[in-house]
Structure 1
Amino acid sequence: MLHHAGAGPRIPATVWRARALVVAGVCTAALATACGPRSQAAAPPTGGGLSVSYQAPRGGGADERDFLRERRLPEKVAEDLNRSLRLPERIEIVGRSCKKDDTPEYDPETGRIALCYGFIGEVRSMFEADRSSGAEGDADERTAGVITETLYHEAAHALIDKLDLPFTGREEDVADQFAAYRLLGQGEPGRAALLAAADNYALYARDADPADADPSDEHAPDAVRSAGYRCYLYGSAPRHKRAAEYRALVDGKRLTKERAALCQGEYDDLRRGWRQLLAPHMTDR
């Protein structure tokens, strides 16, 4: 499942599970030889669960790989979910150079989340340009936030696939809600990461050509995803000790007063929904 819109039609995990055909060109179990060498970054858990590895970058990407390793972004997400959930099957997060689109993706056939080095460089460049035009915030910190949100989004696709979780609506919307659910439970770092992701989608929306919009894309438009994350942030704020600061999210453009009035209910619904979906798989039951 691709993380960002605009890269062509997507195939939901539920459709992939019904197919026995392995798509040509997708890396198989022979990942190390078919897709280049890799280094193991985290020992796989016994049985199921998330593990992390890094392939050697090709044609650039060394700085982005080091960025991931030094901050342990994939490892932190894997540790969080392994600690919280009982996962019967292996899910591997692979840092790698991608041949096409540089778009993070969960592949149900291999059970792998590809985290593309090129995507990291693209996001960081966008934030650096945004800062040079007067925006506040450290580009590296905001990039780390976007990568963390991306990993949770793709992990949601993996959980839906491996745990056969039921859901209604679009899987991409549900995956965004999972990212918000996990991040908003992590205090200020999680809230900052979700806001960075909202800002990143707003930048993609600003730079997009309306003529390139694909009405068949199962992803919501980037501007809608940005507004959704702002709404979840605002909707969770009544329980937050710094709630007054989050009123600034209602700017009349990316989040209107009319939508803001619904946000607490939207956040409560997504939190309740994901708690119920994951309840049979939680480690503290």
Structure 2
Amino acid sequence: MLAQGLPEAPGRSLMRSLIRPVVRPRPVLPGEREKRGGPAFEYEYIAPRSPELQPIHQRVREADLLHHLPEVEAIDGLFLLPYALRFVTAECEQFGAFYVPATHEVVLCYETLEVLYERGEQLREDNGFDAGYPQRYALANLRFIVLHETGHALIHLLDLPVTGRQEDAVDQLATMLMLHFAGTDESPQQVAENLRMAANWFLVRSTGAYNLDAYADEHALGEQRYFNLQCLLYGSDPVRLVDTVTDGDLPPARAQRCPQEAQQIKRAWLRLLLPHLAPKYEMSEAEANHYLEQQQRERERHGQRPYVRGPAPATAP
């Protein structure tokens, strides 16, 4: 079960989280330190009543798991929010995650972590994947789910305009954040694998047979969400990710427009969010794109090495 695999062990996972480089939009320049950032996120791991969920609660609390998700860490304090956004884990008596506007909380259910790990374990057994696959699968989907709900929170707190279904919009934002705000110690291949595992979950939850309620739901069908995510992933780097098409994960007819679609969505979210950056992190669209390109180059450098380089030791004065 999840308590045995997510995280690996409290001490090891916590240390690995602590050494992950903190991603920020850009360094604070001299003379800017007096400028304020946005309200820092708050985190709470609520103890469950069910004994079987206690080990999961202990692991995520000791690892401070939500606080150390790379994309959440990257945007913590970035926006001038009217209220502090809270990230909470709790027992919900069902699979799920949701945003609560009244309390400004993104809530992740312990049951969700358990189900995701079990699904990863099933995929490992069915496909002969390595022993670490269930944990990677659970964490990849955890990141996407939390970022999806964070999208709802940002739309509410920043009063962002949305045309079309909000559920589609926050799927797009979650994908953009995982593409562009993943840890710089993650290679482009790891980023792509994370998003492919998140896309897989959409198919797992699909039945292939739907009634009118499914077609009328605020969420797109699982198959549609799967292909939309694959399109944004492929469109972000068509040369590197050509196997998305050649392996049959994305039909060629859809793939033709994906580079343009990915660029449009990236530009749209930048233009929506940049006006809400806290004074400490204010930047133009050109500066934001330059920063994202720098982050991508850093991930590419890590992808070319069989090891991860830590920060240089301080030199004696």
Structures share fold, TM-score greater than 0.5: yes
Q: Considering only CA atoms, is the larger Rg found in Structure 1 or Structure 2?
A: 2
Structure 1 residues not aligned, in runs of 5+: 1-45
In the other structure, the counterpart of 2:202 is: 201
SS of the residue corresponding to residue 49 of structure 2 reads: coil
Tell me what 1:232 maps to.
Answer: 232
The answer for the alignment partner of 1:216 in structure 2 is 216
Residues 92 and 113, structure 1, Cα contact 8 Å, conserved in 2:
yes
**1:267 alignment partner in structure 2:** 262
1:82 aligns to 2:79 (yes or no) = no
The 3-state SS of whatever aligns with 2:82 is coil
1:130 aligns with 2:130: no
1:282 alignment counterpart: 277
Bigger mean CA offset, 165-174 vs 136-145: 136-145
Q: Which runs of 5+ in 2 are unaligned?
A: 1-36, 283-317
Give CA deviations for 1:211-244 in whole Å, capped at 9, x if unaligned.
Answer: 5962221101111111111111100114xxxx43
Q: For 2:55, what is the secondary structure of its paired residue?
A: helix
**Is 1:50 matched with 2:41?**
yes
The Cα RMSD (Å) is 2.4
1:149 equivalent in alignment to 2:141: no
CA distance in structure 1 between the aligned counterparts of 2:127 and 2:156, rounded to whole angstroms: 42
Supply the distance in 2 between the matched residues of 1:144 and 1:67 (Cα, whole angstroms).
13
Matched residue, 1:8 = none
* Aligned residues with identical type, % of pairs: 28
Cα offset for 1:63? 3.4
Are the equivalent residues in 2 in contact too, given 1:54–1:94 (CA < 8 A)? yes
Which amino acid counterpart does residue 218 of structure 2 have in structure 1?
A: E
- Higher mean C-alpha deviation, range 178-187 or range 138-147: 178-187
Shift of 1:68: 3.2
2:116 maps to a residue whose letter is: V
SS in 1 for 2:215: coil
- Choose 47-56 or 88-97, whichever is displaced more: 47-56
The separation in 1 between residues aligned to 2:252 and 2:128, in whole angstroms, is: 23
The CA distance in 1 between the partners of 2:219 and 2:249, in whole Å, is 18
1:108 has 2:88 as partner: no
Where 1:198 maps in the other structure, the secondary structure is helix
> Could you tell me whether the CA contact under 8 Å between 1:145 and 1:193 is conserved in 2?
yes
The 1-side partners of 2:56 and 2:270 are apart by 34
Letter in 2 for 1:63: P
Matched residue pairs, number?
A: 234
The structure-2 alpha-carbon separation of the partners of 1:67 and 1:192, relative to structure 1 and needing over 3 Å to count, comes to farther
Amino acid at match of 2:92: C
1:61 paired to 2:50: no
Query: Partners of 2:245 and 2:61 in 1: how far apart?
Result: 36
Give the aligned residue type for 1:54.
Y
Tell me how far 1:70 sits from its aligned partner: 5.7
Specify the alignment match of 2:15 in structure 1: none
Which deviations, in whole Å up to 9, do the C-alpha atoms of 1:72-94 show, x marking residues without a partner? 44113442222432222121111
Report Cα offsets for 1:240-266 as digits up to 9, x if no partner. xxx43x222125754100111111111
Hey, which bits of structure 1, 4+ residues long, moved more than 6 A? none
Residue 245 of structure 2 contacts residue 251 of structure 2 at CA under 8 Å; is this kept in 1?
yes
* TM-score normalised by length of structure 1: 0.75
For the residue of structure 1 that corresponds to 2:216, the secondary structure is: coil
Q: How many angstroms apart in 1 are the aligned matches of 2:46 and 2:157?
A: 24
